[in-house]
Amino acid sequence: MKIKTGDTVKVITGHYKGSIGEVIKAYPKKDKVVVEGVNIIKKAIRPNQANPEGGIIEKEAPIHVSNVMLYDKKAKAVSRVGYRFNDKGQKVRYFKKSGEEVKEGKK
């Protein structure tokens, strides 16, 4: 999976098409990601010590990774992602459209 936690992505299909947000969590085995502010669901919470009132909360649910593309903030456009080796011999991700390295993501 080429998208990691901390990347900025744009939703390319579905109800939230066009939304831009940061990846909060990635599930590589399931090919899903949780994007900030996208795919909001309502969940009923029972009363507990942390939340004595209980009630309904809104939270982000995972969406399939094929529904998002990595967003290049400099070029202000989405791009496919490739891998190459930099000057130091490290394998890095890069935007295929602009050729720039992906600086975001979890280190």
Distances (CA, A) of 45 to 25, 60, 91: 22, 15, 44
Average pLDDT over residues 2-18: 94
Residue reference for tokens 């969940």:
43
The domain segmentation of the chain, as residue ranges, is: 8-74
Using one digit for the tens of pLDDT, what is the confidence trace for 43-75?
999 999 988 999 999 999 999 999 999 999 888
Residue reference for tokens 């744009």:
10
Strand duo 20-27 + 8-11: pairing: antiparallel
pLDDT band at 106 (very low <50, low <70, confident <90, very high): low
**pLDDT value of residue 78:** 94
**pLDDT value of residue 105:** 67
Average pLDDT over residues 81-90: 92
- Evaluated on CA atoms 96, 99, 103, 106, the torsion sign reads positive
State the chain's mean pLDDT as an integer: 92
CATH topology of domain 8-74: SH3 type barrels. (2.30.30)
Asked if 3 and 68 touch (Cβ cutoff 8 Å), the reply is yes
Asked if 39 and 25 touch (Cβ cutoff 8 Å), the reply is no
Closest CA to 70 of 99, 24, 104: 104
